[in-house]
Homo-oligomer: A and B are copies of this chain.
Amino acid sequence: MKPNPTAPKPEPRWVRRKDARPEEITAAALNLFVERGYANTRLEDVAARAGVSKGTLYLYFANKQELFKAVVREGLASPIAEVQGMIDQYEGRAFDLLGMVLHGWWQRIGSTPISGIPKLILAEARNFPEIAEFYLAEVVRPGLEAISRIIERGVQAGEFRRVEAVHIAQLVFAPTLLVACWCNSLAPFDPDGMDPLRVIDEHLEMLRRGLAPDPG
């Protein structure tokens, strides 16, 4: 009963992936949550896509809700930091900054799986008050505030007409929401229905004209 040395080494049941695991799992979960929705996503499928077993999920996340929260938190942490850094440092014209923010958003978020998170938030906010509060506090309000500050800067510099920054900020964001939701819901059924970058550019042009100071 000697082991046969020529026999193919059996695939090890697992290989320690040490600290990469949580990210692999949240990445898999993000994709599935976005594709199928929260309730329709089975943890077994998340595990499979992450290349681990069902039980392994519970080594890193207490339960499905916590996994969901982790997905949202992780998906947002880095983009928020990046965008805020970008804004704080900028010193040029307000409108150019708006353009950079929106284009940056598309590159860093809109065109990546992270863009699926807004849809998740919208769909599940009522069922996850904690997430809703978190998203409001960490994404919505900081984001609006950042845009507001840009607007105000433009107004004070005479670059923009006199507007109330808060409301304009919401309008600045609206098309990004449109694009993010579109890409993660209806786009598969109408691939040519929208050109996100084009939408953003048209939006910027509308903003440029819409915010221009009144002549005279």
Q: Is A181 within 8 A of B177, CB to CB?
A: yes
Q: Is B199 within 8 A of A129, CB to CB?
A: no
Q: Is B37 within 8 A of A126, CB to CB?
A: yes
How far does the Cβ of A177 sit from chain B's closest Cβ, in whole Å? 5
- Which of A119, A188, A193, A206 is the most central at the interface, judged by chain B CB atoms within 10 Å of its CB? A206
Main secondary structure of the interface of A (DSSP, over half): helix
Q: Is A193 within 8 A of B125, CB to CB?
A: no
Known: A123-B122, A207-B210, A210-B205. A132 touches B167 (CB 8 A): no
Q: Is B125 within 8 A of A202, CB to CB?
A: no
Q: Choose from B38, B189, B194, B207 the contact partner of A129 (Cβ within 8 Å).
A: B189
Q: Is A140 within 8 A of B199, CB to CB?
A: no
- Which of A173, A189, A195 is the most central at the interface, judged by chain B CB atoms within 10 Å of its CB? A189
Which A residues between 154 and 181 are near B, CB-CB below 8 angstroms? 163-164, 167-168, 170-171, 173-175, 177-178, 181
Whether A48 is near chain B, meaning CB under 8 Å from some CB there, is no
The interface size bin for chain A is: 35 or more
Whether A190 is near chain B, meaning CB under 8 Å from some CB there, is yes
How far does the Cβ of A69 sit from chain B's closest Cβ, in whole Å? 15
Q: Is A188 within 8 A of B126, CB to CB?
A: yes
Determine the residue in chain B with the shortest Cβ distance to A181: B122
Q: Choose from B40, B124, B171, B181 the contact partner of A206 (Cβ within 8 Å).
A: B171
Q: Can you spell out 18 A-B residue pairs with CB atoms less than 8 angstroms apart?
A: A36-B127, A37-B126, A37-B127, A39-B40, A119-B122, A119-B123, A122-B122, A132-B188, A132-B189, A136-B189, A140-B190, A164-B202, A168-B202, A170-B178, A170-B202, A171-B175, A173-B178, A210-B210
